[in-house]
Amino acid sequence: MNISTDYRYSGLRRSLHWLSALVIIWALISGTCLAFFPLTADVQQWLGRFNVALTLLFIPFFLLRSVLAVLQPKPVTTALTVRQQRLAATGHGLIYVVVLAVLFSGVFMLERPAPVFGLTELMPPLRAGAATAFFAALHHYSCALLALLVLGHIAAVIVHQRRGIRLLQKML
Question: 54-72, pLDDT tens digit by residue?
Answer: 999 999 999 999 999 999 8
Burial class (CB within 10 angstroms; exposed 0-12, middle 13-18, buried 19+) of 127: exposed
Of the candidates 65, 140, 57, the one whose C-alpha atom is nearest the C-alpha of residue 106 is 140
Is the whole-model pTM more than 0.85?
yes
- Alpha-helical segments (H) within 37-164: 41-71, 82-108, 130-162
Q: Is the model's pLDDT at 78 over the cut of 80?
A: no
Higher-pLDDT residue of 80 and 114 is 114
* Contact partners, residue 68, CB within 8 Å, separation at least 6: 10, 12, 13, 16
